[in-house]
Amino acid sequence: MLITVKLFANFRVGRFVVEVRDYPAGTAIKAVSGSLGLASQEIGMTMLNGRHAEPERVLKDGDVLAFFPLLGGG
Amino acid sequence: MDLEAYLSAGAKGGLLPWSVQLSAARNFDLPLSVVEERAILAGLLPARYQRNRESISINEQFILCRSRVAIIGCGGLGGYLIEELARLGVGTLVGVDPDVFEEHNLNRQLLSQIDALGEPKVQCASRRVMAINPAVRFEARPERLGPENGLALLEGCQVAVDALDGVSSRRALKDACAAIGIPMVHGAIAGWYGQIATEFPGDGILEALYAHATEEKGSEKQLGNPSFTPAVIASLEAAEVCKLLLGKGQALRHMMLAVNLLDMSFERIKL
């Protein structure tokens, strides 16, 4: 199934801004972030089709996923 | 001669020179802040604000003068926020930070300087406000905002600004704002990146942004913070505060602005 993955801030460095990627049916969000080398403690927010989503959520063909890093500095 | 007549006599073209504001405070034994408020109410704009006029009317300047804003954190973001809100003419600023300046703050924190290392950040902030706009009241609170003191620190404020550097203190600020029913302008930075959002009580933006946060610090641990990122994000926060106080423009509500200075992209993300 094809998943559109969008990355933000430092997640883009050495990766991409947006890419359509092929994953097997039944893939969960956390498997996608894992495949990109995004450590779970680095992720601040995950959005699936414009809504907040949990890492365990299973994806379906055509989904749009966005990963935002945790920014905490001031 | 009463105060208003004295101020009118000293005004030039509807503008009140600083020297007259100063002498009025002395002659009438009033704080500069009170003279400023009475002058604006009488239709006399302190001359320092004359370049505000095209963006902010005198009635709006009066609203700013009567406003009280808490800046939580007086480091990278907080230093610029205090500078900009004091120059803007927000009447009362409450600066909250338990820390002292250290050498590693010098690359970006506006209020840090070599001869102030070791000094409380709120003390330096107070001195800075006195130096640039003594008509602004600055309340220095050398405390860490938490569940036990949040309500007291925010009492009477119309807006609170997040200039913090940790997840748990941001959650405490969000809870305190919700409890007293005021909006919070969120800002956070790491390296070339930043984000801002405005949260009204119950909007749930902070929960979403830090939904997966298991650690107190974020990417800034690896990325640090260069000089320009806090200046950009704090300025966006200051504009947001100004609009909230005046009830004008469009607030960044139910969305987050993701700022990427490496790609020079500003993206609004609906939340």
Among candidate residues B60, B85, B103, the one where a domain is terminated:
B60
Do the chains contact at A9 and B211, CB–CB below 8 Å? Answer: no
B125 and B217 belong to one structural domain: yes
Domain that holds residue B33: 3-60
Instruction: Report the pLDDT value the prediction gives residue B89, as an integer from 0 to 100.
Output: 98
Exposure string of B198-237, with b = 16+ CB inside 10 Å and e = fewer, is bbbeebebbebbbbbbeeebbbbeebebeeebbbbbbbbb
Q: What pLDDT sits at residue B217?
A: 84
Residues B54 and B80 in one domain: no
> What's the total number of domains in chain B?
2
Summarised one tens digit per residue, pLDDT across range B25-71 is 999 999 999 999 999 999 999 999 999 998 999 999 999 999 999 99
Q: Which of A8, A68, A74 sits opposite B164 (nearest CB)?
A: A74
Residue A37, both tokens: 């080398």
Indicate the residue among B45, B60, B75 that finishes a domain.
B60
The answer to whether A9 faces chain B, any CB pair under 8 Å, is: yes
Tell me: do B129 and B211 sit in the same domain: yes
Residues B53, B150, single domain; the answer is no
Q: Report the alpha-carbon distance of residue B176 to residue B228 in Å, rounded.
A: 30
Let me know whether B172 and B246 are in one domain.
yes
Cβ neighbours for B226, distance < 8 A, ≥ 6 positions apart: B107, B108, B191, B192
Q: pLDDT by residue (tens digit) across B81-114?
A: 999 999 999 999 999 999 999 999 999 999 999 9
| ipTM summary value | 0.92
* Neighboring chain B residues of A8 at a CB cutoff of 8 Å: 193, 258, 260, 267
Token pair for residue B23?
Answer: 């002498």
Tell me, what's the pLDDT at B216? 82
Same domain, B241 and B176: yes
Do B48 and B127 fall within a single domain? no
Say yes or no: B234 and B176 in one domain.
Answer: yes
| Interchain proximity A74–B230, CB inside 8 Å | yes
Q: Two tokens at B190?
A: 């790491």
Pair B214, B142 in one domain: yes
Q: Are residues B162 and B50 in the same domain?
A: no
Judge if B108 and B186 occupy the same domain.
yes
B54 shares its domain with B94: no
- Alpha carbon of A25: minimum distance to chain B alpha carbons (Å): 25
Strands (E), chain B: 15-16, 45-46, 68-72, 92-96, 137-141, 159-162, 184-190, 193-199, 255-260, 265-270
Q: How many CB pairs under 8 A join A and B?
A: 107
Q: What is the pLDDT of residues A18-61, one digit of tens each?
A: 999 999 999 999 999 999 999 999 999 999 999 999 999 999 99
pLDDT tens-place string over residues B145-193? 999 999 999 999 999 999 999 999 999 999 999 999 999 999 999 999 9
Residue of A nearest to B169 (CA): A72
Q: What is the average pLDDT score of chain B?
A: 96
> Nearest CA to A41 among B131, B217, B48?
B217
Side-chain-side CA neighbours of B258 within 13 Å: the count stands at: 22
Place of tokens 């860490």: B144
State the pLDDT at residue B226: 96
Q: Which of these CATH numbers, 1.10.10.10, 3.10.20.30, 3.40.50.720, 3.40.50.2000, describes A2-69?
A: 3.10.20.30
CATH of the domain at B115: 3.40.50.720
Classify burial at B127, counting beta carbons within 10 Å of its beta carbon; exposed 0-12, middle 13-18, buried 19 or more.
middle
What residue segments make up the domains of chain A, in order of their start?
Answer: 2-69
Hey, which residues does B212 pair with through a beta bridge?
none
- Reported confidence tier of residue B212, pLDDT bands at 50, 70, 90: confident
- The two structure tokens encoding residue B219: 């990417």
